[in-house]
């Protein structure tokens, strides 16, 4: 009890002694959350992955279909664990099926991550470093955009800083944190394997480095058990499905040879890619400015390395940040494709490194103007980009939850509870998004009758709903031409990049959705 009171007293004293810092931090965190939830009911991206995930969770609540795996990775046959599904499932239930609730929850976790960035920056360098890190993450357009993504990688944003925190606490001789670090590591591997897979070598190096801080035998066993237990659902799934995951992993490693030692040609591609992916998270579309900023920060770390690297936390951040940069030089699987979101688990360590460099410059009068210049450019450029969250959903090629729901509501109102069918055209063809949205909307409005939407029999009233397909307009044209012999168009209405047509069926030869 006294210990808790002492912690509270220290916290109150800290805030009283640094009122301006904590006022600014409060404003930053509020702004961070607003930037992530503003008009999310209209602008939420609800596409293939979101529909697939929502259908799985719908089946959990409505049919009791528990799952041992989560979303599929970019590698065929390799699935993530189910932690992401189980974490967001209560929020789908709370919202009666609305994807807005889990989206707001994910945005909240990223706001917590912004607060943790402040804490880590303060521990590793200074309050200014923490404030700079929270600011950059909160108001970077592309990081805000990533935080608004209703998808499993969003969870690793918080997971990344949580892992840094746990590893740092271990260096402070808090050996009880070892099992906690193992749990965080295992959960991160369930959230986004392409990111978290490179935590494993970093964690192994950390274990060797911290061998003097290894816990007792019992805690060591507990740590191993905790880490291995996070793989149990996938192992059980693999046993029940003839080793599909294990065989796929073996194929990637030994047949496709996903990791290869021939890195020089790959490096020519990877290093420009690294710069592009990370620099756009600072000041988008300003490569020259970002290059100068990164050079200045790198030079700052070199000059003041003896002062900065005295803190173990900085070493941990660099260890984690460097691991994918080296790892992806060797990874040449997945047809050589490495996507932006593969680095989601490393963007916050990068932001922390950048912020610490800026905070070091902020200490000196002659370099302080450079920091002000950085943030002026940062806010001007990112501010313009953040204004896109106020854009209309009725733009000709725009597709998001707002106009998706409007198109569905128009169909339900127009049908007047008469039996009807709906055919979808959604690039890339599989319409999981509308399968779920119609299921949710018809259940909300009419219960199990689905407002007379027929799934297994033809109805005289047919609606065709299709999204604009700018990359492949010929595919959409072919789809529409096939429907000319199925139903006569009676009315057409557009909702941004979505077109809905009411048709009268003239043929029983329909198409499967």
Whole-angstrom distance, CA of residue 396 vs CA of residue 468: 8
Q: Which tens digits make up the pLDDT trace of 116-173?
A: 999 999 999 999 999 999 999 999 999 999 999 999 999 999 999 999 999 999 999 9
Higher pLDDT, 193 or 283: 283
- In this structure, of 257-261, 270-274, 425-429, 469-473, the range with the lowest mean pLDDT score is 257-261
Tokens of 408: 């569905």
Predicted pLDDT at 456: 87
Whole-angstrom distance, CA of residue 303 vs CA of residue 210: 27
Higher pLDDT, 335 or 39: 39
Is pLDDT of 240 > 60?
Answer: yes
Higher pLDDT, 362 or 333: 362
Mean pLDDT calculated for residue range 236-244: 85
Is pLDDT of 241 > 50?
Answer: yes
pTM of the model: 0.93
Whole-angstrom distance, CA of residue 10 vs CA of residue 32: 26
Q: For residue 251, give every residue at least 6 positions away whose Cβ sits within 8 Å of its Cβ, in sequence order, or none.
A: 77
- In this structure, of 4-18, 200-214, 362-376, 436-450, the range with the lowest mean pLDDT score is 4-18
Predicted pLDDT at 511: 43
Is pLDDT of 513 > 60?
Answer: no
Mean pLDDT calculated for residue range 294-309: 92
What is the 8-class DSSP label of residue 465? E
Predicted pLDDT at 298: 93
Q: Which tens digits make up the pLDDT trace of 80-101?
A: 899 999 999 999 999 999 999 9
Instruction: List, as one string, the DSSP characters of 146-213.
Output: HHT--SGGGHHHHHHHHHHHHHHHHHTT-TTHHHHHHHHHHHHHHH-HHHHTTHHHHHHHHHHHTGGG
Q: Which tens digits make up the pLDDT trace of 415-445?
A: 999 999 999 999 877 899 999 999 999 999 9
Q: Which tens digits make up the pLDDT trace of 365-375?
A: 999 999 999 99
């Amino acid at each position: 009890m006294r210990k808790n009171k002492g912690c509270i007293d220290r916290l109150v004293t800290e805030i009283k002694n640094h009122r301006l810092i904590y006022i600014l931090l409060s404003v930053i965190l509020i702004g961070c959350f607003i930037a992530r939830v503003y008009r999310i009911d209209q602008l939420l991206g609800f596409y293939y992955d979101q529909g697939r995930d929502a259908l799985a969770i719908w089946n959990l609540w409505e049919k009791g279909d528990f799952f041992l795996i989560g979303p599929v990775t970019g590698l065929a046959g390799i699935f993530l664990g189910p932690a992401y599904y189980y974490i967001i499932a209560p929020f789908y239930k709370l919202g009666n099926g609305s994807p807005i609730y889990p989206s707001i929850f994910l945005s909240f976790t990223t706001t917590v991550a912004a607060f943790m960035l402040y804490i880590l920056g303060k521990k590793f360098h200074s309050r200014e470093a923490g404030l700079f890190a929270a600011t950059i993450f909160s108001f970077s357009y592309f990081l805000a955009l990533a935080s608004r993504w209703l998808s499993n990688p969003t969870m690793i944003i918080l997971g990344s800083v949580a892992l840094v925190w746990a590893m740092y606490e271990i260096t402070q001789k808090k050996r009880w944190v070892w099992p906690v670090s193992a749990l965080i590591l295992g959960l991160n591997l369930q959230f986004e394997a392409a990111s978290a897979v490179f935590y494993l070598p970093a964690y192994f190096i950390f274990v060797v480095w911290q061998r003097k801080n290894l816990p007792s035998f019992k805690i060591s066993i507990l740590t191993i058990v905790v880490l291995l237990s996070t793989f149990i659902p996938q192992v059980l799934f693999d046993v029940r499905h003839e080793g599909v995951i294990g065989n796929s992993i073996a194929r990637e490693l030994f047949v496709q040879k996903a990791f290869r030692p021939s890195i020089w040609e790959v490096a020519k591609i990877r290093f420009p890619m690294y710069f592009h992916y990370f620099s756009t998270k600072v000041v988008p579309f300003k490569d020259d400015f970002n290059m100068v900023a990164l050079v200045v920060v790198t030079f700052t770390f070199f000059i003041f390395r003896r002062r900065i690297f005295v803190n173990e936390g900085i070493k941990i951040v660099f260890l984690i940040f460097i691991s994918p940069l080296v790892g992806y030089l060797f990874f040449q699987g997945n047809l050589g494709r490495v996507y932006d979101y593969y680095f989601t688990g490393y963007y916050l360590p990068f932001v922390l490194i950048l912020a610490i460099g800026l905070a070091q410059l902020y200490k000196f009068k002659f370099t302080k103007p450079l920091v002000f210049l950085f943030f002026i450019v940062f806010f001007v450029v990112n501010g313009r980009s953040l204004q896109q969250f106020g854009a209309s959903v009725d733009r000709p090629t725009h597709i998001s939850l707002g106009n998706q729901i409007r198109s569905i509501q128009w169909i339900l109102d127009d049908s007047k509870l008469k039996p009807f069918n709906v055919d979808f055209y959604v690039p890339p063809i599989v319409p999981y998004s509308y399968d779920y949205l119609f299921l949710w909307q018809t259940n909300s409005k009419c219960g199990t009758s689905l407002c007379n939407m027929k799934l297994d029999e033809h109805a005289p009233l047919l609606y065709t709903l299709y999204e604009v397909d700018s990359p492949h307009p010929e595919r959409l044209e072919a789809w529409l031409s096939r429907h000319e012999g199925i139903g006569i168009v009676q009315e057409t209405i557009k909702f941004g990049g979505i077109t809905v047509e009411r048709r009268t069926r003239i043929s029983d030869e329909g198409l499967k959705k």
